[in-house]
Amino acid sequence: MAGSGNAHLRPRDQVLLQVEDLVVEFPAGRGRTVRAVSGVSFDLARGETLGIVGESGCGKSSTARALVQLPPPRGGSVRLDDVELTTLRGEALRRTRRRLQMIFQDPISSLNPRRRVRDIVSEGTRVWGAGGDRVDEVLEAVGLDPATAAVRRPHEFSGGQCQRISIARALVLEPEVVICDEPVSALDVSVQAQILGLLEDLKERYRLTLVFIAHDLAVVKNVSDRILVMYLGKMCELAASTELIERPAHPYTRALLASIPGSGLDLPPADRLIKGEPPSPVDPPSGCRFRTRCPRAASRCAEEEPEIRPLTGGHWVACHFPETA
């Protein structure tokens, strides 16, 4: 589990965004290194939503930031259409990066408290000197009144509305890919449903391709076509949403699903599928990174890192001993 490999990538001409062997590392002090992402690959076809799910420290947010090159990854490639983003610098990067946009978890810290909402949303159009007429349209599309937005500042809006403002800001430059990093985790259930519904509507209306990152599998399943499960900087499993939830093959995916209260799935209790706590990404285990918590781990798991391999059509798993139906 928790392995690497590129066998699951589709031919380049079929996908809009392709990420290959992504490596993100940063210093942890005293000469040590946090291995946040270690060889993750995935791709997105135009109009597709890929969900990335995992617990804290699995590298999902580091992956999101590496996609927009903030900061550029330590290794691997991020390709948008024909453009390799990781080798771009300066002005060329600035021009290409705008084709990807991001939405963040914290609706408060995502917005500059000292600017008016309309200025926040129209910032992109001012920088690029075009699309000013789009601002009102986008504001209305996310369900905000342009007249109110012209005079108010973010603190006068609720968390859900602030998230709408963030979405409007991301959409104003007509991006091709929108990366949503835990966009609904800070919201109440009733507001969460509104934002998820809004994202689906906007995806249709503006033909967006979405990377949807969250820790909540039920939320991810609700919006995604395919789901990638990550653990400690590695890939575990990739499959179509329903396939992944109904026939989880990776021991970690199974544990994650079994831990969800009232999941309604036919799985053993979670305490039989996973034990202990995640190890530190500063000093990850050898071989399969999940083996220290895996009830199926054998000596092979410590020696050899599992490569991602096909299980059935479109269902990929990185494990030496996956669950097979």
Partner 1 sequence: MRRRLGPGFWIAACWILLVLAGALLADLLPIARYDETLAGPPRSGPSADHPFGTDGLGRDVFSRVVHGSRVSLGVGIGAVLLGLAIGGPLGILAGYRRRATDAIIMAFNDVALAFPSLVFALAVVAFAGASLRNVLIVLGVLGVPAWTRLIRGATLSFADREFVLAARVLGVRDSRILWREIMPNVAVPAASYAFIGMAVVVVAEGSLAFLGLSVQAPTPTWGGLINEGRTLMDDAPHVVLAPSLVMFLTVLSFNLVGDRLRALTDVRHSGLEPVRQAPPAAPAAPVHAVGDSLLQVEDLRTHFVTERGLVKAVDGVSFTLERGRTLAIVGESGSGKSMLIRSILGLLPGSGVDRSGNVYLDGDDLTRRTPEEMRHILGPRLGTVFQDPMTALNPVRTIGAQLAEPLRVHLGMNRKQAREEAARLLAQVGIPDPGRMLGRYPHQLSGGMRQRVTIAMALSCGPDVLFADEPTTALDVTIQDQVLRLLHRLREERHMAVVLVSHDLAVVREWADEVIVMYAGKVVERGPTAEIFGRTRMPYTEALLQAAPRLTDPAHHRLRVIPGRPPDLVDLPSGCAFQPRCAHARDRCVTEAPELLEDGHLYACWYPTGSPISEGAESRGR
Handedness of CA 37, 42, 45, 50 (dihedral sign): negative
Among 46, 74, 79, 215, which residue sits at the site for partner 1 (rule: CB under 8 A)?
A: 215
Q: Which is nearer to partner 1, 11 or 262 (CB)?
A: 262
- Provide the 10 A C-beta neighbour count for residue 174: 16
Q: Does 65 bind partner 1 (CB under 8 A)?
A: yes
Decide: residue 279, CB within 10 A, 0-12 exposed, 13-18 middle, 19+ buried: middle
Q: Does 116 bind partner 1 (CB under 8 A)?
A: no
Contact positions with partner 1 (CB under 8 A) in 188-207:
188-194, 196-197, 200
**How near is the Cβ of 109 to partner 1 at its closest, in Å?**
5
Q: DSSP alpha helices (H): ranges in 145-188?
A: 146-151, 159-171
**How near is the Cβ of 286 to partner 1 at its closest, in Å?**
21
Binding mask 165-184 for partner 1 (x = CB under 8 A): -x--xx--x-----------
Q: % helix / strand / coil in the chain, to the nearest 5? A: 35, 25, 40
Instruction: Give dist(CA 60, CA 73) in Å, integer.
Output: 13
**How near is the Cβ of 105 to partner 1 at its closest, in Å?**
8
- Which DSSP state fits 6? S
* Cα–Cα nearest to 165, from 205, 120, 213, 113: 120
Q: Which is nearer to partner 1, 37 or 67 (CB)?
A: 67
**How near is the Cβ of 91 to partner 1 at its closest, in Å?**
9
Stretch that binds partner 1, among 1-9, 12-20, 262-270, 297-305 (CB under 8 A): 262-270
Binding mask 78-97 for partner 1 (x = CB under 8 A): ----------------xx-x
Residue type for position 234: K
Q: Which is nearer to partner 1, 37 or 68 (CB)?
A: 68
Among 27, 155, 313, 325, which residue sits at the site for partner 1 (rule: CB under 8 A)?
A: 155
CA 281 to each of CA 12, 133, 224, 278: distance values in angstroms, whole numbers, following the listed order: 31, 46, 27, 9
Please tell me the number of Cα atoms within 13 Å of 62 on its side-chain side: 27
Q: Which is nearer to partner 1, 5 or 159 (CB)?
A: 159
Q: Does 32 bind partner 1 (CB under 8 A)?
A: no
